Amino acid sequence: MVRLPTLNTQFFSKKHECLFLLNSCGSMDQLRQIQAQIHLSGLYQDTHTLSELVYFCSLSPSKNLRHACALVHDAATSSPISWNILIRGYAVSDYPLEAVLVFRKMRERGAMPNKLTFPFLIKSCAVASALGEGRQVHADAFKCGLDSDVYVGNNLINFYGRCKKIVDAIKVFDEMPERTVVSWNSVITACVESLWLGEGIVYFFRMWDGGFEPDETSMVLLLSACAELGYLSLGRWAHSQLVLRGMVLSVQLGTALVEMYGKSGALGYARSVFERMERRNVWTWSAMILGLAQHGFAEKALALFAMMSSNNNHDICPNYVTYLGVLCACSHAGMVDEGYQYFHDMKCVHGIKPMMMHYGVMVDVLSRAGRLEEAYGFIQRMPIEPDPVVWRTLLSACIVHDVHDHAGIGERVRKRLLWMEPRRGGNLVIVANMYAEGGMWEKAANVRRVMRDGGMKKMAGESCVDLGGSMHRFFAGYDPCPDLMPVYHLLDGLNLHLKMVN
């Protein structure tokens, strides 16, 4: 028999007594005893009492969603309050789509949804990336006249962003009659996570111009966009705004700054921010390690990893990004044996299941070192189906280390890659270059003829240059943009001058 708290009932009505007991309840065993008292007191159909019961079963640490369902389904009256709590419980559970089934049952029972129903219902669809169910919920919100509610709108933007339907997310945002900072952050998040980086930056400054004060989340998103673009000047501006506004350098902001400076090649600034941070988490360490590794500072990256793994940081364990940086460092430094050891430690010591990116970097470690047969065997033994990027990495290495394909690796990889992506122009360019490097001109010409006859083109190479605080994008080949004509005339003049000098 579980002991319930005792209280002086002289000052409490029976309903208040039951509510008091519910608020102090700590387990499902206690709840069942309180529920028995509620039955005996005839309070089972009281809306407030029922909602408190459902709340405990749905959202407390001792929750039991199946029991919560039974409570709501067995109730004689169908109040939206209890249904909303149950939907919220499923939205934050391991079975988020159950919330949609609860919503359908709610409608069958005649309970009218309100503006508190849809935010968590939409959130459940976002967590599960359930596009079809989410669109139906959006339609239901529209029918109920609740799609214009700011909280519903914010969750719809997040839902469409999670499902990579960025156009729909922007449409919802643009049609919102009322917006908050959360609304702006939601649409910026959708843009940045879908790699619509330029659009994300535009929305940030639209928010700024609209009189909304960017918060920590806004600044982290802006820094993330700058990191992906290598937009160093804008990243520095964002950093200056943090200082001017006196914003505390939290772990999230500090990590975003380290990542932005690291990816932009400003490793001195990245290290300075890293050293000044009072608290760091695994993402901070990983951003610094990866930044060093990607820019060729392999020894410093590995030394930092050793420092992270030391006893002074025993509470921080490496994650999949940390090991991506470590393996990248091994690739740049030609450290094959160390790469194998780190790959083993990742799996067996830290229990991190390797992802495609880790296998790809290990193939790069072996390929850069010229160990082509070993790399091919490594790919063959992968427990997951290798993607085209892995095969492309090895084929590119064959051109460098075995141009005449004495080992036959290049031909086997070529067949595999073209079977997976027969119409990707970039693959055929690599194959044509492989034949040309080996002096097989006729084969190279045949490959290029296949590309021409099939209308296949290699995607133009692209570069981004930060000049005068603006990001300029350039593509390989001729671009008839009027703004670039003076550049082409200057290049033609320089080319002619060089020919005359020579």
How are the residues of the chain apportioned to helix, strand and coil, as percentages rounded to the nearest 5? Answer: 70, 0, 30
**Helix axes of 131-143 and 118-127: crossing angle, nearest 10 degrees:** 170
Same domain? 15 vs 129: yes
**pLDDT at position 404:** 79
Same domain? 127 vs 33: yes
Written as tens digits, the pLDDT of the chain (502 aa) is 445 455 444 435 777 777 777 777 778 887 788 778 777 776 767 788 888 888 888 888 888 899 889 888 887 777 899 999 999 999 999 999 999 999 999 999 888 999 999 999 999 999 999 999 999 999 999 999 999 999 999 999 999 999 999 999 999 999 999 999 999 999 999 999 999 999 999 999 999 999 999 999 999 999 999 999 999 999 999 999 999 999 999 999 999 999 999 999 999 999 999 999 999 999 999 999 999 999 999 999 999 999 998 866 678 899 999 999 999 999 999 999 999 999 999 999 999 999 999 999 999 999 999 999 999 999 999 999 999 999 999 998 988 888 877 888 988 988 898 898 887 777 778 777 777 877 888 877 877 877 777 776 665 566 666 666 666 666 655 565 666 677 777 777 887 778 777 5
Are 25 and 31 a contacting pair, CB within 8 Å? yes
Tokens encoding 385:
């189906």
Q: Which of 94, 121, 147 is the last residue of a domain?
A: 147
Rounded to an integer, what distance in angstroms lies between the CA atom of residue 115 and that of residue 144?
A: 9
Does 88 fall in a domain?
A: yes
C-alpha dihedral sign at 422, 424, 428, 433: negative
Same domain? 440 vs 469: no
**pLDDT at position 360:** 96
Same domain? 28 vs 129: yes
Does 343 fall in a domain?
A: no
Does 169 fall in a domain?
A: no
Does 252 fall in a domain?
A: no
Same domain? 85 vs 23: yes
Query: CA 91, 96, 100: angle at the middle one, nearest 5?
Result: 90
The residue segments making up the domain with residue 487 are: 462-502
Rounded to an integer, what distance in angstroms lies between the CA atom of residue 195 and that of residue 191?
A: 6
Q: Based on the structure, what is the number of domains in the chain?
A: 3
Residue whose entry in the numeric block shows the structure tokens 């519903």: 152
**pLDDT at position 412:** 92
Does 334 fall in a domain?
A: no
Same domain? 75 vs 6: yes
Rounded to an integer, what distance in angstroms lies between the CA atom of residue 450 and that of residue 128?
A: 43
- For residue 466, list its beta bridge partners: 471
Tokens encoding 493:
């003049």
Tokens encoding 213:
């004060």
Same domain? 378 vs 451: yes
Does 398 fall in a domain?
A: yes
**Residue of 389, 393, 373 whose CA lies nearest to 331:** 393
Amino acid residing at 40: L
**pLDDT at position 75:** 79
Question: What is the model's pTM?
Answer: 0.82
Does 350 fall in a domain?
A: no
Q: Which of 113, 147, 181 is the last residue of a domain?
A: 147
**pLDDT at position 10:** 41
Same domain? 377 vs 404: yes
Same domain? 434 vs 487: no
Are 223 and 241 a contacting pair, CB within 8 Å? no
| DSSP H/E element including 185 | helix 181-193
- The CATH number of whichever domain residue 2 belongs to comes to 1.25.40
Does 18 fall in a domain?
A: yes
Q: Which of 440, 459, 478 is the last residue of a domain?
A: 459
**pLDDT at position 469:** 64
Q: Where are the alpha helices (DSSP H) in 438-484?
A: 441-453
Same domain? 500 vs 364: no
C-alpha dihedral sign at 82, 86, 92, 96: negative
Query: CA 235, 241, 243: angle at the middle one, nearest 5?
Result: 110
Are 65 and 90 a contacting pair, CB within 8 Å? yes
Same domain? 362 vs 495: no
Same domain? 455 vs 466: no
